[in-house]
Structure 1
Amino acid sequence: MGPDPFPSPLGIFPFLASDGTTVIFATPGVATIGVTVTVTVTDDDGGSDGDDAAKVVVGDADGTFGNGYWKHQYSGDGNPQVDAASLEGYLDIVNFVSGVFSEHTILATAADADAVLSPSGNDKRAVATADLLAGWLHFASGAVSHEAVVPLSGGTTMNFLDVMVEIEGIVLDDAAPRTELMRASFLAQRLRQASSP
């Protein structure tokens, strides 16, 4: 059998197909949707492929908070304002979207989050890492959208994801000077003023 003539009598390629579903999630986190998305492409040698889709479900917070707020939520002390299931879901989200957590900094439990949010002394890398975690928690809680615009000094702005990529790059750079680590903290703290586009 020879190659298909152009245009193929079997159809027009490439093509677009879509379908929709509505799913309600009880708590924030990362979920594989109850429907497995399978794409089947069969060619002349019988090859095919399929994949699953993951869904990041953020919370519904209506405001951002400082690192102290997040430390309190994960410390196990006092009365946290966020329920344990949501806090666990937030950590799942952070681990899913971040290249720092848990690949380079362990973030599996509330105790791990509390430790990260408790940097010691003048360790600027630890402070930048704590600020990074707080930034991702703003996203996971739903307070800052992935499409948000972050205001910087001098009237300039950056997109949320660009800010997070820059902060993570600095935190992961073992040779990053103190000034860069301080910039990472500055950027993370500016996330509290982010606005939706």
Structure 2
Amino acid sequence: MIYIYYSYLSEENHESLLKNDLPQFPADYQEKIKRFQRWQDAQLSLLGRILLFKGVKETYKQKPEAKEIIQTLYNKPYFEDNSVLFNISHSGEIVVCALSDEHEIGIDVEIITNIETADFKSQMTQKEWDKIVLSSNKKEAFFDYWTQKEAVLKAQGHGLIIPLKSFEILDNTTKINEEKYYLTEVKIDEKYKCYLSLKNDISEIYLKKITF
């Protein structure tokens, strides 16, 4: 079972989150949040941590310590003394957090915006780009691929050190260094694209909206 928690930004609840939730995290993280100039950026980061800890407590009946979160050499966060694997993503006004106690996991959410997709042609394989160009909705097709690729890289763990063009998405699967990754779309909001990736075929997903 994969658990996905998500939430929307809330300006009216921002001060409450800073007062009641931020103090549970280490001093250096608190200072990081306070340095953001826009409340939206501060809350996006904070909500990711809040969703993570809420998910671990509700789903796995554990009470992790914030100090247990460390990073790999490739800046992927993980728990030092906890078997729960997780990944967080945010875009626009949505934050998502995926959790599993069995598989390395990657999730990516992207707001569908009016961008010049041609600027990103170099990031796609020729087959992927051809499908985008021939699609009846080129913008949506582009964000499908972009979000899938980001989710795979996050599951793989080495991030953008691996070029997006070096692997190809085909029927919701791909391979990196002969390791196969599966993908599934997570339908949260029609204004966004969200994909989940892991090395095993994805079966059941539990999706929960959290309101603050």
TM-score in terms of structure 1 length: 0.28
Higher relative contact order (CA 8 A, sep 6+): 2
Structure showing greater Rg? 1
TM-score in terms of structure 2 length: 0.26
